[in-house]
Chains A and B, each alone.
Chain A
């Protein structure tokens, strides 16, 4: 009996000592107070020669090589509410910049001036400066971001006009610019001037194909961040080719039919007063035609919407004749937008950023195999017909 009891005791003791092994807590835990969460990153070409001299390491190797400046936007326990509050309002973020010749070494150098451990799992947005994008091939510079495990492929990529680091500044101390950009991107459902978000997941496919594509461009004016049109990235070089204005971007959105909302302002023929058409739905069809060597496209755009506002005093929306005239005016305006941007991307930039190549690939895969190498060039000489069909379905609560 006694022996049995002892045996049980021994077993229990053994079990308990094994449990000790499980109670050691989290092995590689990182306290959130010690982390610096990177929420946004900007990349710029370094033009300042002073900083070039400062970075001794690079100088020894190649002083003519272009340097890059990376700014990380950190959110730490001190910048958020729980930190010390001493009268004056503290900024919600902290930007740290560093210059170097490749992405990771530069990022690592930030350790030298930052007390927090950088943690990029929550990185939301990467902003690239104009100069940077037109100097470097994106395939090379984005390599780190596509390879690094801590960077999630759901992060957004934007192109900044002028300096990218300005985008990550805000004069409202309570706001975090990186988060602001992500929220602003959601507006693409309400306007045709923002393109559907380009995340790294989508970027990868674009970078490794020959295709040209668009990236949302953003500018900082008087400390205000604003989306302005889009940046054109050329397929072959993967460098920035130029920018499209907001109006031109509207044309692209009409061609691709991805507009989920937005307005078209046209002017009433007789009195030159504005009529505002609001999109409810758009559908576009790019129909390629191949006749021997000749490729041509028909773009059919159909849209339904409503009159959201009109300043024409002499007419009433109760009158179908007026609606017909308004439809005509809107169609004309959309056609103008489309023709305008086609002229620009075909003749000035010579890049296909509006999905004509994709349609050709789908409808005529054999032809596409032949032309895909020089598609941007061929595209610049391709005739494109455009047909717009607008239907006004309602006019809100006023019949005036």
Chain B
């Protein structure tokens, strides 16, 4: 797709896209995955450190993208390392994007069929979800940004509401001692925590969509866009461990949902609150799904210099097939880890290499 001149987003829209992309599966599983590694109540420190690492990595990504303000990664990678390697790298990233979008779809299907739509076949949950996603992204980045602007405040308010309602079963002793066994356990959890912050890679493309005069604000966008999920994650981890204790968290498949199911508040209009969490969570999954789907389709379009529409339709069955590949939920979690590890290389190491190459080249000419 050749970029339309109207396809421009404001910095605040960029922030919202970033936040909605990052918040996804992690909200429900992060307390478990990180406690498994850390084994002490200091998990929240790991999450904090993970967030900071993610911020550093995304600053590098932004710096790289700002060198080519009018181009997305798919276009400028060829300028840096030549046509063939550039194409190869772009393809890798495209594969990454549609794999992650398949992963999100499947996780969504697993959770909904367990908690909401018992007995509904998986394909029946996935297909409408994907079709609506297709409808959304066919109108381009602007449509996506506007929808995300609606999703974000709802998420924000409902999430804080349900998180603080669980204060009733919070026990501070479950979070103590702080750093009782030193910093080693904390460091063990940092990698897992960092993986929960997957998402800043979208800045490889987003910078190109920002208005010319506002490109310098990209750094600010990243800082704000990562701090908000960081706060969300720290609150989640603290509340879940405070209520369920370290030993209780590791055995739960979806600890955060478990937390919401653990208390009832009689007297309010609603007594049970897990459906609130599921509502915002499904919206977040939808956001992550659509933005990665769009990123993959855009990549293909720019690589082949064709219109984006056929690629959008072409990717749909591919995403569906990938999402149905993992046999059970354990396979699915493994699949998620694999994606995470790939991302660490693709977006942690690659941008630095590219920046260095660019510096060396710039020195010569």
Q: Which residues of A contact B (CB under 8 A)?
A: 28, 146, 149, 152-154, 199-202, 204-206, 208-209, 358, 361-363, 365-366, 368-369
What are 8 A-B interface contacts by the 8 Å CB criterion? A146-B251, A154-B261, A201-B259, A201-B261, A202-B245, A204-B247, A358-B173, A365-B181
B115 at the interface (CB under 8 A from A): yes
A208 touching B247, Cβ below 8 Å: yes
In the assembled complex, which residues on chain A have CB atoms less than 8 Å from the CB atom of B262?
Answer: 152-154, 199-201
With A365-B40, A366-B180 known, 18 other A-B pairs at CB within 8 A are: A28-B119, A149-B114, A153-B258, A154-B262, A154-B264, A201-B243, A201-B244, A201-B258, A201-B259, A204-B245, A204-B247, A204-B251, A205-B249, A206-B247, A208-B247, A361-B177, A362-B176, A369-B181
A361 touching B169, Cβ below 8 Å: no
Closest 9 CB pairs of A and B: A365-B180, A205-B248, A205-B245, A201-B262, A204-B248, A209-B247, A208-B247, A153-B262, A362-B176
B169 touching A363, Cβ below 8 Å: no
Least Cβ–Cβ distance between B119 and chain A, in angstroms: 6
Query: Residue-by-residue, is B148-184 near A (CB-CB < 8 Å gives 1, otherwise 0)?
Result: 0000000000000000000001000110110011000
B298 at the interface (CB under 8 A from A): no
In the assembled complex, which residues on chain A have CB atoms less than 8 Å from the CB atom of B264?
Answer: 152, 154
B250 at the interface (CB under 8 A from A): yes
Which of A152, A153, A205 interacts with B247 by CB under 8 Å? Answer: A205
In the assembled complex, which residues on chain A have CB atoms less than 8 Å from the CB atom of B115?
Answer: 149
Least Cβ–Cβ distance between A400 and chain B, in angstroms: 41
Least Cβ–Cβ distance between A393 and chain B, in angstroms: 27
A369 CA to B181 CA, complexed, in Å? 9
A88 CA to B264 CA, complexed, in Å? 36
Least Cβ–Cβ distance between B328 and chain A, in angstroms: 15
Which of A208, A368, A369 interacts with B250 by CB under 8 Å? Answer: A208
Least Cβ–Cβ distance between B55 and chain A, in angstroms: 30
B188 at the interface (CB under 8 A from A): no
A204 touching B244, Cβ below 8 Å: yes
For residue B180, which residue of chain A has the nearest CB?
Answer: A365
A37 CA to B247 CA, complexed, in Å? 32
For residue B264, which residue of chain A has the nearest CB?
Answer: A154
In the assembled complex, which residues on chain B have CB atoms less than 8 Å from the CB atom of A154?
Answer: 261-264
Central interface residue in A149, A202, A369, by most chain B CB within 10 Å:
A202
B252 at the interface (CB under 8 A from A): yes
**Which interface class (under 10, 10 to 19, 20 to 34, 35 or more) fits B?**
20 to 34
B261 touching A205, Cβ below 8 Å: no
A205 touching B244, Cβ below 8 Å: yes
For residue B274, which residue of chain A has the nearest CB?
Answer: A152
Least Cβ–Cβ distance between A156 and chain B, in angstroms: 12
B246 at the interface (CB under 8 A from A): yes
- Which chain B residues (109-166) contact chain A, with CB distance < 8 Å? 114-115, 118-119
For residue B174, which residue of chain A has the nearest CB?
Answer: A205
Least Cβ–Cβ distance between B211 and chain A, in angstroms: 38
Instruction: Assess A208 versus B180: contact at CB under 8 Å? Given A28-B119, A362-B173.
Output: no
B174 touching A362, Cβ below 8 Å: no
For residue A365, which residue of chain B has the nearest CB?
Answer: B180
Least Cβ–Cβ distance between A327 and chain B, in angstroms: 30
For residue B262, which residue of chain A has the nearest CB?
Answer: A201
- Which chain B residues (36-75) contact chain A, with CB distance < 8 Å? 40
Least Cβ–Cβ distance between B120 and chain A, in angstroms: 8
Query: Residue-by-residue, is B253-293 near A (CB-CB < 8 Å gives 1, otherwise 0)?
Result: 00000110111100000001000000000000000000000
A366 touching B261, Cβ below 8 Å: no
A208 CA to B244 CA, complexed, in Å? 11
Least Cβ–Cβ distance between A224 and chain B, in angstroms: 26
Which of B180, B250, B252 interacts with A361 by CB under 8 Å? Answer: B180
A149 CA to B274 CA, complexed, in Å? 12
Least Cβ–Cβ distance between A233 and chain B, in angstroms: 15
For residue B114, which residue of chain A has the nearest CB?
Answer: A149
Least Cβ–Cβ distance between A209 and chain B, in angstroms: 4
In the assembled complex, which residues on chain A have CB atoms less than 8 Å from the CB atom of B174?
Answer: 205
In the assembled complex, which residues on chain A have CB atoms less than 8 Å from the CB atom of B252?
Answer: 204
In the assembled complex, which residues on chain A have CB atoms less than 8 Å from the CB atom of B259?
Answer: 201
A362 CA to B178 CA, complexed, in Å? 8
Which of B119, B177, B248 interacts with A208 by CB under 8 Å? Answer: B248
Least Cβ–Cβ distance between B2 and chain A, in angstroms: 33
In the assembled complex, which residues on chain A have CB atoms less than 8 Å from the CB atom of B173?
Answer: 358, 362
B251 touching A363, Cβ below 8 Å: no
A14 CA to B311 CA, complexed, in Å? 29
In the assembled complex, which residues on chain A have CB atoms less than 8 Å from the CB atom of B177?
Answer: 361-363, 365
In the assembled complex, which residues on chain B have CB atoms less than 8 Å from the CB atom of A361?
Answer: 177, 180
Least Cβ–Cβ distance between B305 and chain A, in angstroms: 37
A206 CA to B246 CA, complexed, in Å? 10
A202 CA to B259 CA, complexed, in Å? 10
Least Cβ–Cβ distance between B180 and chain A, in angstroms: 3
A152 touching B261, Cβ below 8 Å: yes
In the assembled complex, which residues on chain A have CB atoms less than 8 Å from the CB atom of B249?
Answer: 205
Least Cβ–Cβ distance between B115 and chain A, in angstroms: 7
Least Cβ–Cβ distance between B217 and chain A, in angstroms: 43
Which of A28, A209, A366 interacts with B181 by CB under 8 Å? Answer: A366
A28 CA to B118 CA, complexed, in Å? 9
A365 CA to B261 CA, complexed, in Å? 31
A208 CA to B255 CA, complexed, in Å? 15
A199 CA to B263 CA, complexed, in Å? 9
For residue B243, which residue of chain A has the nearest CB?
Answer: A201
Least Cβ–Cβ distance between B175 and chain A, in angstroms: 10
Query: Residue-by-residue, is B337-362 near A (CB-CB < 8 Å gives 1, otherwise 0)?
Result: 00000000000000000000000000
In the assembled complex, which residues on chain A have CB atoms less than 8 Å from the CB atom of B114?
Answer: 149
Least Cβ–Cβ distance between A146 and chain B, in angstroms: 8
B248 touching A201, Cβ below 8 Å: yes
Least Cβ–Cβ distance between B240 and chain A, in angstroms: 11
Instruction: Assess A202 versus B169: contact at CB under 8 Å? Given A154-B261, A154-B262, A208-B250.
Output: yes
A362 touching B180, Cβ below 8 Å: yes
Least Cβ–Cβ distance between A28 and chain B, in angstroms: 6
For residue B253, which residue of chain A has the nearest CB?
Answer: A147
A44 CA to B169 CA, complexed, in Å? 29
In the assembled complex, which residues on chain B have CB atoms less than 8 Å from the CB atom of A201?
Answer: 169, 243-244, 248, 258-259, 261-263
For residue B241, which residue of chain A has the nearest CB?
Answer: A205
For residue B119, which residue of chain A has the nearest CB?
Answer: A28
In the assembled complex, which residues on chain B have CB atoms less than 8 Å from the CB atom of A146?
Answer: 251
Instruction: Assess A208 versus B169: contact at CB under 8 Å? Given A201-B258, A361-B177.
Output: no
Least Cβ–Cβ distance between B111 and chain A, in angstroms: 11
In the assembled complex, which residues on chain A have CB atoms less than 8 Å from the CB atom of B176?
Answer: 362
Least Cβ–Cβ distance between B272 and chain A, in angstroms: 8
For residue A27, which residue of chain B has the nearest CB?
Answer: B120
In the assembled complex, which residues on chain B have CB atoms less than 8 Å from the CB atom of A204?
Answer: 244-245, 247-248, 251-252
Least Cβ–Cβ distance between A258 and chain B, in angstroms: 11
In the assembled complex, which residues on chain B have CB atoms less than 8 Å from the CB atom of A152?
Answer: 261-262, 264, 272
